[in-house]
Amino acid sequence: MGFDTAYEAINDGEDTGHRWAYGTGFTDPLAGVDTTLPAGVDGTDLAAYCLMLGDDALIMSHRLQQWLARAPELEEETALANIALDLLGQARLLLTRAGAADGSGRTEDDFAFGRMEREFRSVRLAEVTDADFAALVARLLVFSTWRLALLEQLRSSADPVLAAVAAQGAREVAYHRDYAAQWVIRLGDGTEYSRERMIAGLAAVAPLVPELFAVSDVERRMIAAGVAADPGLAQHEVGDVLAAVLAAAALEWPEVPGLAGVSGQAGRDGVHTEAMGYLLAELQSVARSMPEAAW
């Protein structure tokens, strides 16, 4: 890659184009990085916040990887693999930052493979399964639009590690969003059947969207400290982007009820859908069967 550390790579001033999984290829993703806590920032809260962002990326990445060999065309499999690797790279940096921030020294593997379902803090939008490709691109559009809005805010985070991750991540996620938007338009404004599938995909995603804009207690404290992004402020931007894409696709946002019986902040509280247990069983199976192995 031409860089000694991942931190140096993501802060490279030259625009060398899109990098795949910028957090991969290093034994320690934050090797050589000053991980000293910013003044006045609580390490436990910072770690919890990094887990939220890191878990979102990790779980969404895994779902995208499951689409390899299932996408409509080989080109789309390559694109989805690229997006999954980008998110995996972000997850590596964020989970490692969490272990440094809380002083536990836990690694990215400890967080990814050693936690139980209730310990994950990802939003439910990242974990659900997709009925078909239309449902996938509907979910990816919402997820990437929302994540991009958060990363843009995080460019000015008081934590320099988060700010660096956000600066590179925003460039990557902008591509993710545009890729999904193109497919939503293509399917929504395509054949009668593709339009039906796109409408069904949006209907499946819609109940999971309100959770994205709720603010947890940890986020509230980190926002006050100048560290975190405010998801509530992202709602207007996300709405504008979705409205523009749906207008181009001649579609409307579905009017559907929220997920019954679960609060809007469920994922951040460790309350997940049934799909999460199956996802983690697959994600963690090899690591749990050989706990002494090095990955």
- Would you say residue 39 has pLDDT above 50? yes
Answer whether residue 171 shows pLDDT above 90: yes
Reading the block at residue 198, the tokens are: 């796109």
Whole-number average pLDDT of the chain: 88
CB 162 within 8 A of CB 50: yes
More confident residue, 293 or 244: 244
Reported for 234-241, long-range contacts at CB under 8 A and 24+ positions apart, including other chains, are: 234/146, 234/149, 234/150, 234/153, 237/145, 237/149, 238/142, 238/145, 238/146, 238/149, 238/212, 238/213, 241/145, 241/177, 241/181
Which class for 113: exposed (0-12), middle (13-18), buried (19 or more C-beta within 10 A)?
middle
**Contacts (Cβ under 8 Å, ≥6 apart) of 244:** none
Amino acid at 6: A
Tell me if the pTM is above 0.85: yes
Contact criterion met (CB below 8 Å) for 53 and 94: yes
Nearest C-alpha neighbor of 97 from the set 47, 38, 55:
47
- Give me 102's structure tokens: 């809380």
For residue 13, pLDDT beyond 70: no
Give residue 92's identity as a one-letter amino acid code. Answer: R
Q: What is the pLDDT of residue 19?
A: 39
**pLDDT band per the 50, 70, 90 thresholds, residue 257:** low
**For residues 2-16, average pLDDT:** 49
Q: What is the predicted pLDDT for the residue at 213?
A: 95
Which residue bears the tokens 């499999």? 77
Domain range list for the chain: 38-289
Q: Give the per-residue pLDDT at 266.
A: 86
Question: If you average pLDDT over residues 148-155, what whole number do you get?
Answer: 98
Task: Indicate the CATH number of 38-289 among 3.40.50.1370, 1.20.1260.10, 3.30.1780.10, 2.70.98.10.
Answer: 1.20.1260.10
Confidence of residue 33 (pLDDT cuts 50, 70, 90): confident
**pLDDT > 90 fraction of the chain, expressed in percent and rounded:** 77
pLDDT for 282 beyond 90: yes
Taking the C-alpha atoms of residue 295 and residue 200, their distance in angstroms, rounded to an integer, is 39
Look at residue 34 in the predicted model and tell me its pLDDT.
Answer: 77
DSSP 222-251: HHHTT-S--HHHHHHHHHHHHHHHHHHTT-
